[in-house]
Amino acid sequence: MTVRPLADGATLRAAEPGDEDGILAGIHALAVYEREPDAVANTASALADTLFGPAPAAFCHVVEREGRIVGIALWFLTYSTWTGRHGIWLEDLHVDETERGRGYGKALIASLAELCVQRGYSRLEWTVLDWNAPSIAFYRALGAEPMDEWTTQRLTGEPLTVLARHAAS
């Protein structure tokens, strides 16, 4: 990804080593916005391993303005057995509250859509909380459609551990 100029002197680019603290700050700010301020266990060191280690499995685009990361789009690849092609899962999208309205969120999502098209990926997907009306309106304005009848399922903690024991049986 090339560095792209945005409004007000900001730039959009792929994350690089040294961005971990700024990315983590965006993750924390998103957790606060999503009413889970104490849920983030991630660290800058873990992000460095995940994003820049020998076999990165997640990626991040950032918006930088005046030397500070003000927006993040953290993503990873998915695979559709139905289309036989990869897609992108947008795990976190966040733009600092004071920087909203400048087009940074749209630029971040558009950069992922561009990757999908360039690489022949079949989809760009993410989840949004049901109560998050401003984000839902933003996504609808981009042309995103809700996936009715699909509910995200998750195993964590003890249920995950218990089920894992069955694999060894």
Q: Is 121 a catalytic residue?
A: no
Alpha-carbon distance of 57 to 75, in angstroms, equals 9
Q: At residue 168, does pLDDT exceed 90?
A: no
- 78-115, pLDDT tens digit by residue? 999 999 999 999 999 999 999 999 999 999 999 999 99
pLDDT at position 169 is: 73
pLDDT at position 30 is: 98
Residue from 33, 79, 121, 139 carrying the catalytic annotation = 139
Q: At residue 52, does pLDDT exceed 80?
A: yes
- As a whole number, mean pLDDT of residues 37-63 equals 97
Give the strand pairing for 124-125 and 68-80.
unpaired
Alpha-carbon distance of 50 to 43, in angstroms, equals 10
Side chain identity, residue 6? L
The backbone torsions φ and ψ at residue 105, rounded to the nearest 5 degrees and listed phi first, read -60, -45
Give the confidence band of 70 by pLDDT, cuts at 50, 70, 90.
very high
pLDDT at position 37 is: 93
Q: Nearest 5°: CA angle at 47, between 16 and 42?
A: 150
3-state secondary structure at position 77: strand
